[in-house]
Amino acid sequence: MLIFRESEQELVEWRPGVLTRLRAGGSLGTERLSVLEQWHEPGCGAPTHTHYDAEELVTVLEGSGEFWIEEERTALEAGDTVVVPAFLYHGFRNIGEGKLHILAVLSAAEPLVEYAEEAGTVLEIGGEGDVRRDAHRAVRRASRSR
């Protein structure tokens, strides 16, 4: 039985105005999924990116955000969930006055992420590579394939 206690999970600033807690993932012992909880200050969010072959489900727990998948855009509020199919570029930003609080579930234990603004740099969420972006993300190991 795997139990993840919030008091033992590090809160990490992924970019200015964005705090992330890795709730579950490969480095924490899961085999096929990862779970991230994030808090985004007004105007902040996740820039356009892809997770390659991992599907993603994002639920808004608090606040409101503008979400996009490829060219399609929509506003989501607390209680809304969006499903992002594999391979598609997507992102979101907080459009409210308070924090945007989300929970994201991905169908891979160490999902890959490539940001459009950093094309060619592939990170592993929950990866344990030597080149670290932060405590949760490492540059993809050369032996891994997309």
Output the 3-class SS for 35-47: EEEEEECCCCEEE
The total of structural domains in the chain comes to 1
86 in a structural domain: yes
123 in a structural domain: no
Q: How confident is the model at residue 146 (pLDDT cuts 50, 70, 90)?
A: very low
How many other β-carbons are positioned within 10 Å of the β-carbon of residue 44?
Answer: 21
Q: pTM for the whole thing?
A: 0.91
Q: How confident is the model at residue 142 (pLDDT cuts 50, 70, 90)?
A: low
Q: How confident is the model at residue 130 (pLDDT cuts 50, 70, 90)?
A: confident
Q: Is the CB of residue 35 less than 8 Å from the CB of residue 62?
A: no
134 in a structural domain: no
37 in a structural domain: yes
Q: Is the CB of residue 123 less than 8 Å from the CB of residue 133?
A: yes
The pLDDT assigned to 8 comes to: 81
30 in a structural domain: yes
Which three-class secondary structure state does DSSP give residue 15?
strand
The pLDDT assigned to 141 comes to: 63
The pLDDT assigned to 145 comes to: 47
65 in a structural domain: yes
The pLDDT assigned to 95 comes to: 98
38 in a structural domain: yes
63 in a structural domain: yes
100: domain range? 13-110
What secondary structure, in 3-state letters, does 59-95 show? EEEECEEEEEECCEEEEEECCCEEEECCCCCEEEEEC
The pLDDT assigned to 9 comes to: 84
The CATH number linked to 48 is: 2.60.120.10
The pLDDT assigned to 1 comes to: 85
Residue 97's nearest CA partner among 34, 28, 41 is 41
Q: What's the whole-number average pLDDT of the chain? A: 92
CB burial of 119-141 (b: ≥16 within 10 Å; e: otherwise) equals eeebbbbbbebeeebeebbbebe
